[in-house]
Amino acid sequence: MVTLTNPVSLLIDDAVSTVTRMKPYRFAGQEAACNLCGSPSHDQVGSRDRYGWKLRIVLCTRCGLVYANPLPTEVEVDAFYARHYRKLYHNAYEPKPKAIFRAFKGAKGRYGYLEPILDRGTRILDVGSGGGEVVHHFRERGIDAHGVEPNQGFAEYSIEAYGIPVHVSGWQNAQIEPESFDIVTANHVVEHFRTPFQALVRFRDWLKPDGYLHISVPDVYSPQRTPYGRFHFAHLYYFDRESLIMMGLKAGFEVSERLPGRSTTVVFRKTTTPAADWFRYPENYDKLAGYFRDYTNLKYFLSRKPYSRWFRRMGRLGGEMFQANFAAGNLDREKK
Ligand SMILES: [Zn+2]
């Protein structure tokens, strides 16, 4: 179903998806306590997302976890991901050539990153498998990869296009055998969940003893990025490395010595029992409170960063246009 893409349609795609992305995630929500430490105490650090939609973001004064509060209810989250999310976010029920190209590039990157812990026959589960590119790419290399994807359109596309095993379900209802995987990977997924801690506990159940959990989320502590772009209506949680590690420790993991990762990419290792002393970074709240206080939009625009960023973005778009055409041509040929 891949069609050859010309540069003009790619530019139009980009513009259309920018406009449709701006539709908000409407939820009534509920007041929530911190998902990591349970404290109800917080500071408000944001009132709007990057598109200007109302979104109240708070910082837990105990552990430094940043989250949307009120949080959407379970029903609101499920409805959003089952039907609307991919459409809003990527303007498609099926992945488009540019998205497929980016996803395959990401899949190669993830394979390279995890290679030190992969063997032939390793059983790996990709949570939020989307269009299936990661699962497909790993299977092509002899890895026993599976997916879980709540969006029906994307999950069915991935099953048909690549013939890969995908559970069409959210993580809560997925019928997955306990202790059946060597690795669980979740790339830019748990920040969308309503209860990421409970998700990590579930991932741990799916892992064999000593199994690995690879998690990557956006880093909220990123002084090189635009302050106004920090928050996104679909992201309910915002981690720094410390809060992500504490959540992993509390859920029954330790940071892998072999692949510790950096920033908010962490490879965890399943431990026999969750660590009672998971609260390892008591200074995390102060660090983030200072960051939100000091790092303002005004400071950002007085620096050189916004201007060099624009040039990088134009360069990247040009490169992708060329490569997406090339990839689409290749895929077409493969199908014939
Ligand atoms: Zn907390």
**Domain ranges (residues) in the chain:** 7-335
| pLDDT score recorded for residue 334 | 46
| pLDDT score recorded for residue 4 | 43
| pLDDT score recorded for residue 99 | 80
Distance 273 CA to ligand 1 centre (A): 21
Distance 39 CA to ligand 1 centre (A): 5
Range of weakest confidence among 27-31, 182-186, 205-209, 239-243: 27-31
| pLDDT score recorded for residue 56 | 94
Its CATH architecture, for the domain 7-335, is: 3-Layer(aba) Sandwich (3.40)
Confidence of residue 335 (pLDDT cuts 50, 70, 90): very low
The letter for the amino acid at 134 is V
Q: What is the mean pLDDT of residues 314-332?
A: 62
Distance 115 CA to ligand 1 centre (A): 34
- Smallest CA-to-CA distance from 236 within 207, 264, 196 is with 196
Q: What is the mean pLDDT of residues 289-315?
A: 75
Distance 87 CA to ligand 1 centre (A): 32
| pLDDT score recorded for residue 328 | 53
Distance 84 CA to ligand 1 centre (A): 30
162 vs 314, higher pLDDT: 162
Separation between Cα atoms, residue 186 and residue 170, nearest integer Å: 13
18 vs 57, higher pLDDT: 57
Distance 188 CA to ligand 1 centre (A): 21
Strands 123-127, 144-149: pairing kind: parallel
Distance 64 CA to ligand 1 centre (A): 6
Q: Give yes or no for residue 255 having a pLDDT over 90.
A: yes
Distance 279 CA to ligand 1 centre (A): 10
Distance 37 CA to ligand 1 centre (A): 4
Q: CA 233, 173, 244, 40: dihedral to nearest 10 degrees?
A: 70
